[in-house]
A and B are shown apart, each in its own frame.
Chain A
Amino acid sequence: MTTPSTTVKATGSSPGTPSGTEIRLDRVTKDFGLAAPAVDDISLTIRPGEFMTFLGPSGSGKTTTLNLIAGFETLTAGTIALNGTDVSDVPPHRRNLGMLFQNYALFPHLTVAQNVAYPLRERKVPKREIARKVAEVLELVQLTGRDDNHPSQLSGGQQQRVALARAIVFEPSALLLDEPLGALDRNLRSALQAEIRRIHREVGSTFVFVTHDQEEAMNLSDRIALFNNGRIEQIGTPQQLYAEPETLFTARFLGDSNVFELGQAALGRSIVWDGESWGVDPATVAAHPGVRAGSAIVVRPEDVEVAARRDEVPPGANAVRAVVRDVEYMGSYRTLLLAMGRRGLPGRTRVSPLRGDYAIGDEIVAWWRPGAQRIVAA
């Protein structure tokens, strides 16, 4: 081992110095010889100690990118560097990265303790130190006392905790998590999400997490890289991706949105959509000068207000007439499903249950402040 033999907890608590590893992908491409490359010219820097999530639909290249970092796949082009050292040609067992798989990948012929000790044995750690570290990390994942169980005797959640313990016990440069919670039921998943967040805080190393679940990504990540067709669509904090989507794909993948597609690049002081003339907030345009020729307007449902008549809409707001298609009662709020404009574009808004009754077929006016709308590239 190259790292000093500090304990798992001490690694995270060393103040001032970032204890994680920087992972830098430079023009990374992986081509399996199919119609399109699985990973297409991706450049990305994951900061030391960062919780980075690769989010995207299946087949978007997020798992392949993770496998490239792990070394399970070879690069077609580009380089991958850990803390500035090019590891593109280093085999996986010399990259010193922890990996968590969706199916846990625990060794069925070994006990819990032996599974966790495996990476330490491979690194020729002295026996007494192995015993100490195994006990310590099993405590960290709250599995003390299950040392002599075999994986088959544990529940799915417990198995994934063992896998987590095994992946961090050797203090890897970074932890790669490949949809580790995908096989668990909803309650267990949120419990383990909290656990993974806590362990990330305590260990303080770089985590790269792959998921197709946007809620999971929003909940866990420092930053999210949204994958689509082998490329990164947008990268940023969960708030940035939700509030400031740069593309239609991002807007649609994260959360619900009302999408008004614009026929041509019709952006100036106002926009015309379906006969309605809308204002533009100069601030939002200035924030994303690259999307001036954007071809769609995105408004989140919680930003859409409802008025009974057009003269109730405050001045300066953008409005569109709509018909209530359905009402979903969600407890703390109601969702109105709308048909907007002359063509009846599907849309949605959230209203407080206190604010009047809406029935299917009601004709209303939906409106929002220009500052709440995002202009995105298609």
Chain B
Amino acid sequence: MSSNKIRWPSWPLLVPALALLAGILLVPLADTLIRSVSTPGWTLSNYSNLFTDGVTLTVLWRTAVTAATVTAAALLIGYPYAYLMTRVSPRARGILLVIVLIPFWTSVMARNFAWIIILQDGGPVQSLFEFFGADDVVFYGTTVGVTIAMTQVMLPFMVLPLFSTLGAIDRRLLLAARGLGSSPTAAFWKVYWPLSRSGVMAGVILVFTLSLGFYVTPALLGSPQESLVAQLLAQRTTLLLDFAAAGALGILVLVVTLVLVAWANRMGGTMSAIGVVAAGRTEGRR
């Protein structure tokens, strides 16, 4: 180490990011929090109302169920997909990656209107079901349709952390398990699956928490009778102008999300798995 170099502290590198965060997140969040407990007067009634108004809990539950369904579907599709990505040539892997990232690169409106056209009454999907004799299948305006469209856009958040975790698993461990007496199925469940769990947790938490806040897709593809939390929030802020009630709802969702992330983090490896994705190490693995 040369002595004539001044060792600057490294924390000032964070200043721009912290300033931005303070401006667009912390200050509005604090404002929301204060309003939610100070209108009308200092009270927690905005929070207690959430549990008694008969609507919020129903919507929250529906949102959680939808997010859980999307998460499960993304995992079921994403796990084999990510596994395949670790097993093919770099070229094929690139193609698979592009396919999964296409919803990312498509404008939100274009993507959702495309789903409307595909899922609408008399659209190709419905026609297909009618062809096979199921003429009462409706996707447009239902939670099922919303779930399908959400799963598509959530898939990268499941596939990328899974891919980085699965790609790092030493496949010789599977051979070792086979040699020690495990059938291929047993080797998967006793060795591969446990080693992939941090990636699964990362994907599940990412998809679930992001799904909780979906607005455009349920607004366009769903029905007002089956709205999700984000729609309820929009309604309370833009139509009812009840910022205190909306703030309380927002804070509740935030707390639930943070609790989930903290729990998942304790289950191990989640943050590191997300970090791996963020660091762009998803490419260039064997």
With A105-B175, A176-B179 already in contact, 6 other A-B pairs whose C-beta atoms are closer than 8 Å: A72-B178, A91-B183, A99-B179, A107-B173, A118-B190, A167-B180
What are the residues of chain B within 8 A of A119 when measuring CB–CB? 180-181
User: Which of B172, B183, B186, B191 is in CB contact (< 8 Å) with A101?
Assistant: B172
Q: Is the CB of B182 within 8 A of A122?
A: yes
- Determine whether B125 belongs to the interface, using a CB cutoff of 8 Å to chain A: no
Cα(A122)–Cα(B175), bound, Å: 14
Q: Does A108 contact B (CB under 8 A)?
A: yes
* Chain A contact residue count (CB 8 A cutoff): 24
B180 touches A170 (CB 8 A): yes
Interface residue? A76 (CB, 8 A)? no
* A186 interfacial by beta-carbon distance below 8 Å: no
B113 to chain A, nearest CB (A): 46
The interface bits of chain B over 164-178 (1 if a CB of A lies within 8 angstroms of the residue's CB, else 0) are 000000101101111
A65 vs chain B, min Cβ distance (A):
15
User: A109 to B194, Cβ gap below 8 A?
Assistant: yes
A231 within 8 Å of B by Cβ?
A: no
Spell out B's residues near A (CB within 8 Å).
170, 172-173, 175-183, 186-187, 190-191, 194-195
> How many inter-chain contacts with C-beta < 8 Å in the A-B complex?
59
Chain A residue contacts of B172, Cβ below 8 A: 101, 103, 105
Q: 1/0 per position for A87-105, CB-CB distance to B under 8 A?
A: 0000111001111010101
Residue of B180, B182, B190, B195 touching A108 (CB-CB under 8 A):
B195
**Can you identify 7 A-B contacts, CB atoms within 8 angstroms?**
A70-B179, A72-B175, A93-B180, A107-B173, A122-B186, A123-B181, A170-B181
Provide the bound-state CA to CA distance between A123 and B182, in Å: 9
Within 8 A of B (CB), among A272-287: none
Q: Which residues of B contact A123 (CB under 8 A)?
A: 181
6 A-B pairs with least C-beta separation: A105-B176, A122-B181, A99-B179, A119-B180, A92-B178, A109-B194
Residues of A within 8 A of B190 (CB): 118
Task: Determine whether the beta carbon of A103 is less than 8 Å from that of B170.
Answer: yes
Q: Is the CB of A122 within 8 A of B180?
A: yes
Nearest chain B CB to A370's CB is how many angstroms away? 50
CA distance A166 to B36 in the complex (A): 61
Q: Bound complex: CA of A257 vs CA of B22, how far in Å?
A: 77
Alpha-carbon distance between A99 and B186 when the two chains are bound, in angstroms: 18
**How far does the alpha carbon of A118 sit from the alpha carbon of B181 in the complex, in Å?**
9
A164 to B: closest C-beta gap in Å = 13
Contacts of B178 in A (CB 8 A): 71-72, 91-93
Whole-angstrom distance between the Cβ of A96 and the nearest chain B Cβ:
7
Alpha-carbon distance A91/B182, docked complex (angstroms): 10
Instruction: Chain B residues near A72: list those with CB within 8 A.
Output: 175, 178-179
Q: Which residues of B contact A103 (CB under 8 A)?
A: 170, 172
Known contacts A107-B191, A108-B195, A109-B195, A93 near B181 by CB under 8 Å: yes
Q: A72-B178, A93-B178 are in contact. Are A105 and B173 (CB under 8 A)?
A: yes
A365 to nearest B CB, angstroms? 55
> A105 contacts which chain B residues (CB < 8 A)?
170, 172-173, 175-176
Complex contacts, B175 vs chain A, CB 8 Å: 72, 92, 99, 101, 105
Contact A98–B194 (Cβ < 8 Å): no
Do the beta carbons of B179 and A93 come within 8 Å of each other?
Answer: yes
